[in-house]
Amino acid sequence: MDVVLIRHARPDVAPGICYGNLDLSLAVPMTPAPTAIVAALPVPQRVVTSPLLRAGDTAKALMRALTLAEPAIEVEPRLRELDFGDWEGKPWDVIPRAELDDWAGHLLEGRPHGGESAAQAMARVTAWADTLGGAQDSCIWVVGHAGPMRMLAAHWLRLPLDRTLGWELAFGASCLFRLGYTQPQLAWWNRGAA
């Protein structure tokens, strides 16, 4: 089975703002354009999205850009972005340096913001990933967020999360994993919209 992970398009938020679970709309016009995102992707039999607006609206726009019959969009709460608690919506440069240092020093378990730790987010994201074992679809699109996409990469490639958290991932970019082999295979990462 092919699983195409697609990061949502650019959200309507000022640069330098901390957002994870903050429910943001997409910037207008949608960037990158939906037709550019879907241009080189395999056709999905199933489409799954995070419940956050920026992901759901990206998924809907991608379905409208397809010229084939649209599969229904499934909303999966476990695919939402990490909850940054008290930091949500604040500029990164006003968050106390000591809190940021504490978080960086305890990346997996730290939650100085009072929200969710990376380990907690990874547990829910990988719990969803583990449900795919019985899926009969040949291609699934998952429209979501950079954090969970990097968590899925760590899970499927059996890498430490701190390694994949640094992988670049642009708005509207896609990644393709092939599941069903002895070891999941990464076909591409961070493929930008044409």
Local confidence band at 157 (pLDDT 50, 70, 90 cut-offs): very high
Instruction: Report the percentage of the chain scoring pLDDT > 70.
Output: 96
pLDDT of residue 194: 60
Domain-wise residue ranges, the chain: 2-83+117-191
Distance of alpha carbon 140 from alpha carbon 169, whole angstroms: 19
pLDDT of residue 29: 97
Contact 129, 79 (CB under 8 A): no
Q: Report, as an integer, the average pLDDT of 23-33.
A: 97
Contact 40, 34 (CB under 8 A): no
Whether residue 71 has pLDDT greater than 80: no
pLDDT of residue 193: 75
Q: Report, as an integer, the average pLDDT of 154-170.
A: 95
CB atoms within 10 A of CB 186: 12
pLDDT tens readout for residues 87-102:
999 999 999 999 999 9
Helix (H) or strand (E) holding 103: helix 97-105
2-83+117-191 belongs to which CATH class?
alpha beta
Nearest to 143 by CA among 57, 84, 82, 66: 57
Contact 173, 2 (CB under 8 A): no
User: Strands 174-178 and 185-191, how do they pair?
Assistant: antiparallel
Average pLDDT taken over every residue of the chain: 94
